[in-house]
């Protein structure tokens, strides 16, 4: 099979405030035409920097120190910037991790797709317009004609992700770099998008570099898998070998960290510690400080890749050691005994409806849209209600409505009583007081974190405002504990949001919500940007807080594995309405509503590629 992309000894450095960080260290990989190469690993390991290097789109503080990247017969690093502009979008295209920051906020969605079509194809006029509409339909966006005239701020996170995918595919590239392409998508749209990518691959021989933390998606999509850690590839294999015979300790631990119904009540096998700072000079195995199998040989000298077969290579000195067995799982926890919660009613929502005004003043505009229709549900103390459904069905609107974070042009009717206080009628000091009890983890951490504030200032802002009685010493002690709980080093407190990867920013957003010790947290896709090891760490933390403090969660997510592991009850939303609600086990194993059945049937399974 002919090669589409060949990367040799790629080295990328990033200049940081604390020195030069080697983000990518001597990386080698080969992508063949018509195949998918998956790059997986923890946030901050260098996956996105690898992708940006291939397009020569590194940030200003990044530099390619050495290496070679060949796209078929073209040496990417030898091209001028003008020549690169003919490559980007046409021969290599990318789906960026955060579409809300990648799309132009002052251009309509239609204009942004047409821009790509006009730049890289011969289509013009009605033909280009029809092409743009067709791509919006292919990615599952409802009412594509109307969406052509919409601006990014008028769309949900999942809808923006679909627009980003349509833009990336519009010129039908030879190589698609998909950086977390399905993190903001519900499972039905995710299945549609992955099916579209597969069909395009089959038709055009398109190669795909898939960067994701969703191992179920990897098992169903990838031909080859490479696992990165601290800037290096530590294991590379064909997909079947990687999932059936993981050989690096890091790979074994990742696969054991996946949540599911069979692990309810059990702590997930989270990997303790964090990725080491890439500014340091490494000696020996970079994973050794976190590895349960560490020996003296692991830290004595640099570790080279060992070939287990022609296609399977591992960077581990113990790879052939019989002692490298699977890690034992933590014991089951009896939640009924561990919990200090009385399970009394915390939040009661009755007949909630939310209507947006579109295109004009307060209901003097051209059109209104009812996003939430007569929704009712209860949440008990110390319990989790998962809200699932397609992107745009009203899940996030409910969460924002509870915190009065919707625009003045939005009409909210119904009631929401938190500890007997109606949230929709609180003002001033009473509203501020309610936010001691009710916090939110936003879906997009990049947009919700102030770029001008350091992490410590971001976290302390809520503490100072909502708990002025806390001393400086107490705040600082809590901040250090929070950093450890969400898997970040304490030096993160002195840095700005832009210095972190998407997954690391999500951990900061989670820490901000936890910082004021609320009774109820609206979790809007809190683990969507996290790799499975950090996700396990966060889910363990959320469950521990629930058991010890009685914290409750309204958990908005597309990840059915997380729902099965964490949720006590599930509410399924469709077109603004709850179509089915009940105990998590009942909904997930014996759904009654046709939409719920369709939703669950689209969930990717880790063993799909291994059967």
Do the domain assignments include residue 305?
A: yes
CA–centroid distance for 87 within its chain: 28
Number of domains in the chain: 3
Do 64 and 195 share a structural domain?
yes
pLDDT for 610 equals: 42
Q: What percent of the chain has pLDDT over 90?
A: 59
pLDDT for 16 equals: 86
Mean local confidence (pLDDT), 381-396: 91
Q: Is the pLDDT of residue 155 over 70?
A: yes
Q: Is-contact 117 126, C-beta < 8 A? A: no
Do the domain assignments include residue 288?
A: yes
Measured CA to CA, the distance from residue 196 to residue 163 in angstroms comes to 14
Mean local confidence (pLDDT), 249-253: 91
Mean local confidence (pLDDT), 512-523: 94
Helix axes 109-120, 125-138, angle to 10 degrees: 120
Q: Is-contact 273 490, C-beta < 8 A? A: no
Residue environment code for 74-109, b if the CB has 16+ CB neighbours within 10 A, otherwise e: eebbeeeeeeeeebbbbbbbbbbbbbbebbeeeebb
Mean local confidence (pLDDT), 44-50: 90
Question: Within 10 A of 496 (CB to CB), how many other CB atoms are there?
Answer: 16
Looking from the CA of 266 toward its CB, the CA atoms found within 13 Å total: 18
**pLDDT category of residue 555 using cuts at 50, 70 and 90:** very high
Question: Residue 148 is part of a domain; what is its CATH number?
Answer: 3.40.50.300
Mean local confidence (pLDDT), 574-582: 96
Mean local confidence (pLDDT), 220-228: 95
Do the domain assignments include residue 606?
A: no
pLDDT for 277 equals: 87
Do 468 and 581 share a structural domain?
yes
Do 34 and 150 share a structural domain?
yes
Extract the tokens encoding 168: 């990336």
Q: Is the pLDDT of residue 286 over 50?
A: yes
Which residues, 6+ apart, have CB-to-CB distance to 143 below 8 Å?
none
Digit-coded pLDDT (tens) for 464-498: 999 999 999 999 999 999 998 888 889 999 999 98
pLDDT for 544 equals: 85
Measured CA to CA, the distance from residue 564 to residue 587 in angstroms comes to 10
pTM above 0.75, yes or no: yes
Do 204 and 252 share a structural domain?
no
- DSSP string over 397-438: HHHHHHTT-S-TTEEEEEEEEETTEEGGG--HHHHHHHHHHE
Do 68 and 173 share a structural domain?
yes
Do the domain assignments include residue 361?
A: no
Measured CA to CA, the distance from residue 269 to residue 158 in angstroms comes to 29
Digit-coded pLDDT (tens) for 392-434: 889 999 999 999 999 888 999 999 999 889 999 898 889 988 9
Q: Is the pLDDT of residue 611 over 50?
A: no
Do 307 and 174 share a structural domain?
no
pLDDT for 79 equals: 95
Measured CA to CA, the distance from residue 418 to residue 231 in angstroms comes to 46
Q: Is the pLDDT of residue 339 over 60?
A: no
Per the model's pLDDT, the better-predicted residue between 194 and 416 turns out to be 416
List the single range of 379-383, 517-521, 560-564, 606-610 with lowest mean pLDDT: 606-610
> What mean pLDDT, rounded, does the chain reach?
88
Mean local confidence (pLDDT), 380-390: 94
Q: Say which residue the tokens 């009661």 belong to.
A: 348
pLDDT for 125 equals: 94
Do 560 and 459 share a structural domain?
yes
Do 178 and 288 share a structural domain?
no
Do the domain assignments include residue 461?
A: yes
The domain containing residue 35 runs over which residues? Answer: 3-222
Do 594 and 455 share a structural domain?
yes
Q: Is the pLDDT of residue 507 over 90?
A: no
Do the domain assignments include residue 58?
A: yes
Extract the tokens encoding 216: 């179920």
Do the domain assignments include residue 418?
A: no
Do 436 and 321 share a structural domain?
no
Do 71 and 213 share a structural domain?
yes
CA–centroid distance for 112 within its chain: 24
Do the domain assignments include residue 28?
A: yes
Do 572 and 450 share a structural domain?
yes
**pLDDT category of residue 608 using cuts at 50, 70 and 90:** very low
Measured CA to CA, the distance from residue 241 to residue 208 in angstroms comes to 19
């Amino acid at each position: 099979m002919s090669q589409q992309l060949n990367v040799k000894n790629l080295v990328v450095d990033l200049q940081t405030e604390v020195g030069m960080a080697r983000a990518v260290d001597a990386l080698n990989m080969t992508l063949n035409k018509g195949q998918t190469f998956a790059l997986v690993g923890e946030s901050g390991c260098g996956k996105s920097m690898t992708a940006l290097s291939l397009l020569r789109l590194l940030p200003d503080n990044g530099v390619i120190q050495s290496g070679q990247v060949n796209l078929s017969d073209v040496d990417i690093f030898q091209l001028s910037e003008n020549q690169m502009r003919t490559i980007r979008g046409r021969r290599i295209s990318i789906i960026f991790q955060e579409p809300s920051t990648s799309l132009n906020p002052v251009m309509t969605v239609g204009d942004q797709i047409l821009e790509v079509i006009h730049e890289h194809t011969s289509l013009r006029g009605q033909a280009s317009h029809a092409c743009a509409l067709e791509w919006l339909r292919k990615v599952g966006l409802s009412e594509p004609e109307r969406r052509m005239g919409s601006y990014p701020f008028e769309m949900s996170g999942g809808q923006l992700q679909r627009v980003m995918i349509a833009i990336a595919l519009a010129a039908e590239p030879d190589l698609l770099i998909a950086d977390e392409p399905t993190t903001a998508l519900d499972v039905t749209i995710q299945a549609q998008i992955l099916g579209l990518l597969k069909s395009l691959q089959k038709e055009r021989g398109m190669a795909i570099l898939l960067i994701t933390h969703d191992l179920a998606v990897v098992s169903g999509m990838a031909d080859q898998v490479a696992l990165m850690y601290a800037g290096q590839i530590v294991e590379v294999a064909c997909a079947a070998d990687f999932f059936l015979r993981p050989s690096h300790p890091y790979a074994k631990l990742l696969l054991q960290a996946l949540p599911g119904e069979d692990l309810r009540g059990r702590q997930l096998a989270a990997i303790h510690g964090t990725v080491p700072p890439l500014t340091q000079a490494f000696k020996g195995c970079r994973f050794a400080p976190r590895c349960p199998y560490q020996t003296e040989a692991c830290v004595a000298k640099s570790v080279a890749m060992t070939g287990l077969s022609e296609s399977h290579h591992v960077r581990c000195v113990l790879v052939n050691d019989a002692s490298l067995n699977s890690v034992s799982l933590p014991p089951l926890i009896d939640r009924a005994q561990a919990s200090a919660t009385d399970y009394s009613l915390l939040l009661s929502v009755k007949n909630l409806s939310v209507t947006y005004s579109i295109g004009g003043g307060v209901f003097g505009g051209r059109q209104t849209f009812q996003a939430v229709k007569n929704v009712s549900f209860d949440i008990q103390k110390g319990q989790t209600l998962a809200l699932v459904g397609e992107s745009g069905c009203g899940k996030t609107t409910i969460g924002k409505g509870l915190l009065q974070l919707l625009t003045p042009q939005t009409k909210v009717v119904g009631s929401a009583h938190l500890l007997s206080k109606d949230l929709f009628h609180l003002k001033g000091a009473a509203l501020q007081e309610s936010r001691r009890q009710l916090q939110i983890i936003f879906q997009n951490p990049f947009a919700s974190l102030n770029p001008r504030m350091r992490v410590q200032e971001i976290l302390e802002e809520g503490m100072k405002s909502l708990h002025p009685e806390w001393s400086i010493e107490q705040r600082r002690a809590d901040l250090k504990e929070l950093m450890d709980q969400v898997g970040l080093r304490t030096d993160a407190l002195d840095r700005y949001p832009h210095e972190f990867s998407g997954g690391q920013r999500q951990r900061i957003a989670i820490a901000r919500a936890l910082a004021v010790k609320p009774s109820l947290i609206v979790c809007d896709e809190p683990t969507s940007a996290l790799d499975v090891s950090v996700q396990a760490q966060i889910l363990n933390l959320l469950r521990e807080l629930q058991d010890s403090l009685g914290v409750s969660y309204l958990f908005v997510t597309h990840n059915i594995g997380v729902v099965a592991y964490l949720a006590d009850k599930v509410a399924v939303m469709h077109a603004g309405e709850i179509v089915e609600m009940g105990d998590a086990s009942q909904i997930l194993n014996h759904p009654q509503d046709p939409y719920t059945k369709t939703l669950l049937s689209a969930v990717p399974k880790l063993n799909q590629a291994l059967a």
